[in-house]
Structure 1
Amino acid sequence: MTKFRWTVLMLIIGLSNSSGNLKSQVKIIWYEDLPDCPCKNPDFYEVKLNDGWAKDKGDIKKYHKGATECFRSYPFTKTSIGNSGQQCCFDIQGNLIKSGAGAGTPDKVSTCNGEDKNGQMKLRLLGIYGHYFKDVTPWNKAGNAEDAWKSYNTQWVPNQGLNCN
């Protein structure tokens, strides 16, 4: 047996004996290409239009308990898994929430298609179906509403912003 065939055979045996499939062996960090969250709520003092951030229309109390407002990035970013987007959530003082239940999380499938004249997000209709199955359903399966974020945020890691304290 040639050295190449032996190496391939050992690789196959090693993968078949591991816990998980080949996909789980290669960790692709899809959210690294998304824009960083602003450290401060982009509309804290006044609504800023066309800044790449739109006020989220989602159920913040359910999915980001403790956040006052959340924003979604636009336009979507082409990542290794599709047309993705960033979600950032802020506390009552307008500061980025970087961890815990209130933190925003990246979206594998973006639902934001810009903002209206009031800064509210316009829905990206093509993204709603994919977002539901690739982002929302895993959150719903992660556990009860109080604890789901603990496991969900290990795969959908909240953005820390750029030089935020």
Structure 2
Amino acid sequence: MRCNKPVVISCKKQQREVATVHNIVNKQIDKTFTFDKVFGPSSLQIDLFQQAVFPSVSEVFEHFSCDIFAYSQIGIGKTYSMEGGTANAKNGEFQNDVGVILRFVRQICDKLESHNSHYSMKVSFLEPYNEEIVDLLALKELKLLEDKFKKQIAVFEDGEIL
């Protein structure tokens, strides 16, 4: 928009559709894709969390293993949606740009604390990229987290390593 380029994607939340417009050799080609949920550019982090992630909190307490999976092109906003911006809380409330991971963990901890439960939690933060899966929280040899120091994860399918 800053460069006066035409808008080529539009989000229709109510219809759960994303429409694209392509001009190829002066011919306009429109395509529409339907999804379970659509979050457009005006959506807030809290909207994404409440509609797409919060329902999984109760599933954790029903002994289900839950995954929050973000998939899209590079540079489309996955990291922002998952991690968000500032994690500072004011009066116990998150700022608007906090991502879904911190919100999810907070909901689980709040629920456990409300029952005066003793608990431990295992969290993985994985990045699949170029046919490798990397644990972004695991440091190899206690060095700074850089690409060359990330710990690779072995992937198993039906008991056999891939």
Q: Per the shorter chain, which TM-score range?
A: under 0.3
The structure with the greater share of residues assigned to helix is 1
With CA pairs under 8 Å and 6+ residues apart, which has the higher RCO, 1 or 2? 1
TM-score, normalized by length of structure 1?
A: 0.21
The structure with the greater share of residues assigned to strand is 2
TM-score, normalized by length of structure 2?
A: 0.21
